[in-house]
Amino acid sequence: MATNPRYDPERRDRIIDACLEVIAERGVAGTTHRRVAEAAGVPLGSMTYHFDGMDALLREAFTRFSHSIAEGFEVRLGHDMTREQAKDAVVDLIQHDVFAGHRELVLSHELYTLAARDERYRELTSAWMARSRVVLERHFDPATARLLDATIEGISIHSALDVAPLDRAVIREAVDRIVGSPPEG
């Protein structure tokens, strides 16, 4: 039995993935239906079939991206560990995961720019931050988790934009200063 060449159950997912690639290459301002369709290898008409417009596609793409970053937090910190192991995991997140490459850095900043201008995207970044903090709160009190989350983001941005990588010992010192010593008793 022959399959229908128009039936493509993975098309919508390919479009979302292609949208992220186009954003990483050209920014949100340079992302068009035509470029995304070309990158996904789908007919231009597929764009309006699967999405109500560019905003709907961008929201889906950035939702997927933010979920993938949050999942990285869960992989690093989602299981039982000592306080020292959790601090090491935070350092590893900063050094290896958060902005693992140029693509992640660009996508994050494109999302931040949208969130700064549009409350709907701010809701997306807020949900991402809340999800990250829930994972951090498995190992640290809520106030410390919030500070660590901001530190992870800030040091990652600085590291990604600096010409020289930040030494692990410096990152660990920052984490130690925020987390402090465990309470006695």
pLDDT, one tens digit per residue, over 106-164 is: 899 999 999 999 999 999 999 999 999 999 999 999 999 999 999 988 888 887 777 77
Phi/psi region, residue 38 (left: phi>0; alpha: psi -120 to 50; beta: rest), is: alpha
pTM, two decimals, is 0.85
pLDDT at residue 96, rounded to an integer? 80
Location of structure tokens 């900063």:
94
Cα–Cα distance, 75 to 78 (Å, whole number): 6
* Range of weakest confidence among 41-50, 63-72, 91-100, 137-146: 91-100
Task: Place 3 in a pLDDT band, splitting at 50, 70 and 90.
Answer: very low
What average pLDDT score do residues 76-81 get? 88
Task: Place 1 in a pLDDT band, splitting at 50, 70 and 90.
Answer: very low
pLDDT at residue 141, rounded to an integer? 95
* Range of weakest confidence among 30-34, 44-48, 101-105: 101-105
DSSP string, 83-151: HHHHHHHHHHIIIIITT-SHHHHHHHHHHHHHHHH-HHHHHHHHHHHHHHHHHHTTTS-HHHHHHHHHH
pLDDT at residue 95, rounded to an integer? 82
